Amino acid sequence: MAKAFAGKDNKAEEMKEARQVRGGKVSPAQYANKEKAEGDKKSKQALERTGKALASGKMTPKEYAAAAKMKKGGMVRGKC
């Protein structure tokens, strides 16, 4: 099982991160800081917008995992 914010950038980890933000365990600001610590090249403001979209329900964890670009192998594919 993937651990959230471990830096692996695979589908399972991205789903776990998104569920934590959606469930309120991680705030959008904490999400942005943790993603930056993983080495994400997006600006902190862009990461916070993504976190807010996840927290508010505008973006589902499934959509987030499907849209997240992976370091190895391009886009995530398959069912959640």
Q: How far is CA 68 from CA 9, 64, in A?
A: 8, 6
Is residue 28 within 8 Å of residue 48, measured between CB atoms? yes
Query: Could you list the residue range(s) of the whole structural domain that residue 42 is in?
Result: 11-67
Residue for token pair 């192998």: 73
pLDDT > 90 in the chain, percent: 42
> Is 25 part of a structural domain of the chain?
yes
Position 11 scores a pLDDT of 81
Using 50 as the pLDDT threshold, list the residues of the chain that sit under it. Answer: 71
Asked if residue 49 is part of any domain, the answer here is yes
pLDDT of residue 13: 86
Extract the tokens encoding 4: 């959230």
In a domain, 76, yes or no: no
Distance between CA atoms of residues 79 and 12, nearest Å: 11
Whether residue 73 is contained in a domain is answered as no
